[in-house]
Structure 1
């Protein structure tokens, strides 16, 4: 015997389905992008959005940048390792400059110590 439930198989709040009920979707353009690993991505964009199609797109599979030219995809960005403050200072100054600055700082501290 059937339970007599008229909405069996539906969820609460379910409305009519279909394109006629939601309205027409905007005309779309599909653009192909390729990354350095050879992955193809095909996002679609609204034709009448007024904004241009992006030159690059992030590959959803590997995260590398993807371009529209399959033969010459953009190269992935190189991540620089973390540098400490001391590493940046050593790039700007050599050991001789560092010794001079250290001596000036020590002389200044010694002079302050002698003043009562």
Structure 2
């Protein structure tokens, strides 16, 4: 059994003093934000900081943007599916461009004697 004078379950700076030791908390302003799923988020802002309350806040439950208007929350972001490299190439090139590039590559291989 270990002996000593340590008080179990405490740490340096902890104690019953609480607010008296650190001073009073700054006055706060609580603002409600609602997301498209109807979740309410209520962050608080210090009144004296001169901070402008943002128009949107990220919902901690679903990650959608939340606004201060409960009846018309911001629309969720549009999620675009993953595109392959070939999909990006098809966006940049027409079928005629692709055929011309393929013909050029095949003629180069024929000139080298790598294909017939």
Which stretches in structure 1 are left out of the alignment for 5+ residues?
A: 1-6
Per-residue CA shift, 1:23-77, capped at 9, x if unaligned? 1212211111000111111100112223321111111122211001111101111
The two structures, once aligned, show a CA RMSD in angstroms of 2.4
TM-score (norm 1): 0.78
Alignment of 1:1-116 (within 5 A): 11-13=10-12, 14-111=14-111, 113=112
| Cα distance in 2 for residues equivalent to 1:37 and 1:103 | 53
| Cα distance in 2 for residues equivalent to 1:63 and 1:99 | 45
TM-score (norm 2): 0.78
Structure 1 ranges of 4+ moved more than 4 A: 7-10
